[in-house]
Amino acid sequence: MKKSITRLTFLIVSVFTITSKAQTPIAITFDEPTFTLTPNSYYKNTVTNDWSSGVAKFRYSWNSSFGGFWESGTAYTNKKDTVDGTFTNLYGCIANGAVNGNNYATVQDGAIITFSNNTTQVSGFFITNTTYVWKTIKNGNSFSRKFGDTTGTFSGGLYAQGGYPDYFKLVVFGYQGGLKKADSVQYYLADYRLNGSINDYVIKNWRYLNCTTIGVVDSLVFKLRSSDIGSFGMNTPGFFSIDNFTTVNTVGINELESLSNSVVFPNPTANNINIEFEAKKEAILNINILDITGKIVFSNTFQSNLGSNNVELKIETLEAGLYFIEMSDSNSAKRIKIVKL
């Protein structure tokens, strides 16, 4: 039996399963009672350093040299300052406050979050630029180039003034047992790579970053990358802000009983995707397509037959980006990661 789904176009990049009875997501909003701050301030601890919420430990380091400074890691804050674009404003985000509530967190390049169990999956979190980074990308300073500006880039006349293909992005790596997971997640906080300045952007509001594709982890590492690189590394300030950091405990996960040996093809495709699988029993399956925020953009049901099955998805239009096809029964689900061309 075949069902058709219309109006999407995808490139399949990998397949993975997150199969279980429903697990309750836990969101760290940084507004928990332990995160007490006076207005317009930030976490500063010169003694105990690391801080925790639930299963998550946020690495933090304070260096007492030169009068003391925040050396690395993550600091929670309620700073509201969208004006000061200098290094004196390391903590404030350009979105001028939290997604909701009072507090959020600002993170340095190379920051690490560890988890007290090895059954944690990070669902995702909201992300935005700090004021310091946003102003630097827009205007430049004595250390960093204004994005799109060819001055000092040694472009040799290949790019018109204001047309240099700059970018600033976050890459999230997951680790389990000291080994890096196969999948990572990246997000462009600024992107000047496409032709025409009308396509250039620097993120100024909160955006959701879905991290489910990384899978089960015992730690995350955040790495920032920029096109503005000097003799000593990245010139763009290495900071970004996060909020509503959400995890799920995957204890008790079992593979969906009704599906096995899933194959997705062709790869890539412009018009359709076929999902072939062996069904161990007849079942009513829900077929959903979700965007990176978890919003369902398509939903249908499918009667699987015992043995070989094929579902054909005829697909044409959606915005470019990461999506998921999820096939589920009443107890569990099998999810396929897809990227739209």
List, in order of start, the domains of the chain with CATH numbers.
Answer: 11-21+254-340 (2.60.40.1930), 26-249 (2.60.120.1350)
What is the C-alpha to C-alpha distance for residues 307 and 302, in angstroms, rounded to an integer? 14
Q: Regarding predicted confidence, which is higher, 107 or 313?
A: 107
Q: Which of 89-98, 126-135, 178-187, 316-325 has the lowest mean pLDDT?
A: 316-325
- H helices within 170-271, ranges in order? none
Residue 277 pLDDT level (bands cut at 50, 70, 90): confident
Helix (H) or strand (E) holding 132: helix 131-139
**Per-residue tokens: 27:** 């969101």
The 3-state DSSP composition of the chain as helix, strand, coil percent (nearest 5) reads 5, 45, 50
Which pLDDT score is estimated for 263? 74
In DSSP terms, 20 is beta-bridged to: none
29/244 Cα distance (integer angstroms): 4
Averaged pLDDT, 221-244? 95
Decide if pLDDT at 340 tops 80: no
- The predicted pLDDT at position 68 comes to 94
Please provide the average confidence, as pLDDT, over all residues in the chain.
83
Q: Which residues of 10-39 are buried (b: 16+ CB within 10 A; e: fewer)?
A: bebeeebbbbbeebeebebbbbeeebebee
CA–CA dist 41, 44 (Å, integer): 9
Query: Tens digits of per-residue pLDDT, 46-72?
Result: 988 999 998 999 999 999 999 999 999
**Which residue has better confidence, 147 or 319?**
147
Residue 26 above 90 pLDDT? no
pTM: 0.71
> What's the CA angle centered on 183, arms 226 and 93, to 5 degrees?
40
